Structure 1
Amino acid sequence: MIRLFAAVNGEVLSGLGGSTTPTYTRIHFLLSELGRHPDVEIRSIRFGQRPRTGLFSLLYNAAARTVAAARSARLIVKDRPLVFFAYPHSMTAVQYRMLFLLCTALQIPTAVDIHDTIEQAHAVGSGTFAVSRRFEAFCMKHATVLIATSQPMWEHTRNKYGISGRQAIIAPNAFDEAFMQRYPGRYTGSNGRFNVCYIGGISRNRGVDLLVDACSVLHERHPCLRLTLLGPYGPGVPPETRERIERSDFIARKEIPREAVPSSLADVDLFVMPYNPHEPYLNYLSPIKIYEYIGTAKPILCTKCASLLDIAEEGGIAYVDYDAGEMMEAIERFIVDPGLRKSASEHLLKSRMQHTWSERAERVYQGIRSSLPGTG
């Protein structure tokens, strides 16, 4: 029997609600699918949080987290389950950092699911990270079970912190069944329409500026082209790019809840994953967006980040260098060649079952069983 306690707000396990962050998507679907095993019991503590609109809300949220952490500690000490932490999400609150220290001191087993490391803040963010480098090292070295979203991410983490003789469960991100229900068959386009889509944050090194440049030129040649950006602005977006997006008559940007993503992609003809592979950290990532793209079985254009190469059957994803000109040429090939789009979709249909949350949860399940005595 695997008894697991999730050191996250239990509200995430019950549903995504209005969440717009992919972090909650991974926690929700990975643990939900893991909990389908008859010998897995998952518990958590639910607590309410208010929008951060003032001092009262901040005090209320801190108090709610503290009460939840105290209840969690009582349960953990009593039952000694495997305690699951999403990193860095769980550790952004001091109360849950204390829970990890408690587990370590009492030798209660822990599982740390590594979504990102401290380098993420410098690669695509503001440069500030909610967890210190020292505490990050402590987590990686003392976790009983480590879960990484890609082999490159694990190798980077292991080398960085000198974690010798350890293996991690490799469980990349994935897509949920709603995508296959919404897009059960091969993609078919419509004459006179070509919609390009990017999902995710718009910040430095994510390549959205290159995508906007490429599509701006192509729109002059192919007025049918439209670009949809589903995500918020973040640090490092060139002012001219932001201005071009907001003033454009063919670019639309909006933010939508994660649960609305599958139904929002019906008219998309090409997805783009334009991350900058010259930023070392972006070669370790396993972004949820690339797997959700795969889940629609629609054509995908992707830059050559190491962790994203060969994740689908050959021909399913077109890869380009991090260059606006090459990106533009590749997008144009998809515009003028419906057969290329059809072929890419057929290849993705053949391989997408390898990238479901059910498959990822099975990896974690088997990894836990082989790592912890008494669960195999």
Structure 2
Amino acid sequence: MKPMRIAYLCADRGIPIVGPTGSSTHVLEFVRALTERGHEVVVFAADPGQSSADLPCRVIPIAADPVLNEVRLALGKQYRQAPGEPTPRASEVFSLLVNQSARLELERAGDFDLIYERLSLWSVAGLQAAREWRIPLFVEVNAPLSKQQQTYRDLELADVAEAVERIVLTEADRILVTSDALIDYVHERGASRRDARVLPCGVSRSMFADLEKRKAVDPEHFVLGFLGSLKPWHGIDLLVDAFSALRERSPAYRLLVVGDGPLRAYIELVCRRRGLAEFVELAGAVSHEQVPDYLARMDAGLAPYPPLETFYFSPLKIWEYAAAGVPIVASRSGEIPEFFEHKKAALLHAPGSVTKIVRHVERLRTEPGLGARLARRARRVAKERTWDRLAARFEDIAAKTLAGETD
């Protein structure tokens, strides 16, 4: 297709464009895949993240206006729950004000063929620009944002967040959800199901390891790995409980956790109380370029999701385990069993089952050939979900939308 000029808007201040989070990886790798296919992408970001010479495109900050930041500081002082502790309202009001500077930066950057926005709680600038310029607005939805914020975090201006979410989703030309489960969510928010398409998470080709070079499994030193953010919905408590149970069975087990988040302190505390601290390595947040080195040390990769009312994830960790040749032990949740068949490409368990996690990991430790066989099959599956393939799928959707066709 003809190369497009795309404005990519990420107004979420919790997602650095260059950073160690899975969300950062998603944004940057998808943008990289688009630019490698000949499109010009300009990213407008609330948090550009770390400086990097490896950026595939120009990144324009939208939350750096000094006057708005003075307002943010003033709001932080005004709204306090306790001395020195601002309420969420200060951040929420500031994020609404960022729409002004986002709109100005979009205007300055010139003409675009379409706007691609990662849905954030307070952003309407993409919709405003698309309406004025009469170009399509594509909105990517990765989570039930307002619902998630109210459940797991603080949200004071909930009615405003829901109103923003509803109008953006209703007015978007195309909604790109990362899983089938999110189609129901955007429909509840007023969007038409016929405007929604599934465009899941992918995996970078740089993640694919040479399986012949992977270290052989040592039953006397077995590294259990976890890659991802340390948040409640990722089953961090289950991870720690499973590791505790495995240590009771064998002193061979070690735990390697790659990622950071609010439950890091929980892991440290529980492992210290149970006498496990010396057998646990918390690597913290690492750059995406460092991830393959950590994956190479893992003998099993865990994704121990708990029972959730709605499983909306497209788990990046699963695809990166698969690409790197790390045998997968995961919950039978969402899209996971659809792509990674139990006992053929992964070992799957009912969400929340520590007993089954322990049993499956023990099998991998005591049957080295099993892990190698599962890893080979999973790797073949992962080759079908690379970012360049997903960029090609987006191209097809965009071309038909720009031509006024349906798909």
Distance between the aligned counterparts of 1:129 and 1:293, measured in 2? 38
Task: Indicate which of 220, 238, 241 corresponds to 1:210.
Answer: 238
Moved more, 342-351 or 65-74: 65-74
Note the alpha carbon deviations across 1:266-323, whole angstroms, 9 max, x for none. 21000000111x3223x12112111111111210011121232222356111110122
Residues 297, 352 of structure 1: 8 Å contact kept: no
Residue of structure 2 in register with 1:289 after alignment = 317
Offset, 1:37: 2.5
Residue ranges of structure 1 left out of the alignment (5+ in a row): 10-14
- Letter paired with 2:36: R
Offset, 1:188: 4.4
Offset, 1:325: 1.6
Distance between the aligned counterparts of 1:113 and 1:68, measured in 2? 18
In the TM superposition, what are the counterparts of 1:198-347 in structure 2 within 5 Å?
198-234=226-262, 242-246=268-272, 248-259=277-288, 260-276=290-306, 278-281=307-310, 283-312=311-340, 315-321=344-350, 322-347=352-377
Residue of structure 1 in register with 2:26 after alignment = 26
Offset, 1:129: 8.7
- Letter paired with 2:329: L
Q: Give the TM-score, by structure 2 length.
A: 0.76
Note the alpha carbon deviations across 1:239-287, whole angstroms, 9 max, x for none. 5x541235612122231333221222221000000111x3223x12112
CA separation of 1:336/1:157 partners in 2, compared to 1, >3 Å: closer, same or farther?
Answer: same
Using the aligned pairs only, state the percent identity.
Answer: 20
Aligned: 1:82 with 2:114: yes
- Letter paired with 1:132: A
Residues 5, 84 of structure 1: 8 Å contact kept: yes
Offset, 1:121: 2.7
Distance between the aligned counterparts of 1:140 and 1:355, measured in 2? 26
- Letter paired with 1:126: R
Offset, 1:373: 1.3
Q: Give the TM-score, by structure 1 length.
A: 0.82
Offset, 1:374: 7.1
In structure 2, the residue corresponding to 1:223 is in which secondary structure? coil
CA separation of 1:256/1:232 partners in 2, compared to 1, >3 Å: closer, same or farther?
Answer: closer
Distance between the aligned counterparts of 1:109 and 1:255, measured in 2? 39
Offset, 1:64: 9.4
Note the alpha carbon deviations across 1:42-66, whole angstroms, 9 max, x for none. 234534678xxxx77967x999986
CA separation of 1:229/1:57 partners in 2, compared to 1, >3 Å: closer, same or farther?
Answer: farther
Residues 35, 42 of structure 1: 8 Å contact kept: yes
Task: Indicate which of 139, 157, 174 corresponds to 2:168.
Answer: 139
Residues 47, 64 of structure 1: 8 Å contact kept: no
CA separation of 1:221/1:115 partners in 2, compared to 1, >3 Å: closer, same or farther?
Answer: same
In structure 2, the residue corresponding to 1:326 is in which secondary structure? helix
Matched length: 353
Q: Relative contact order (alpha carbons < 8 A, sep ≥ 6): 1 or 2 greater?
A: 1
> How large is the Cα RMSD of the aligned pairs?
3.3
Residues 21, 229 of structure 2: 8 Å contact kept: no
Residue of structure 1 in register with 2:179 after alignment = 150
Distance between the aligned counterparts of 1:57 and 1:343, measured in 2? 57
- Letter paired with 1:193: H
In the TM superposition, what are the counterparts of 1:76-115 in structure 2 within 5 Å?
79-88=111-120, 92=122, 96-104=123-131, 107-115=134-142
Distance between the aligned counterparts of 1:344 and 1:292, measured in 2? 14
- Letter paired with 1:207: G
CA separation of 1:339/1:244 partners in 2, compared to 1, >3 Å: closer, same or farther?
Answer: same
Residue ranges of structure 2 left out of the alignment (5+ in a row): 45-58, 74-93
CA separation of 1:72/1:223 partners in 2, compared to 1, >3 Å: closer, same or farther?
Answer: same
Distance between the aligned counterparts of 1:178 and 1:361, measured in 2? 16
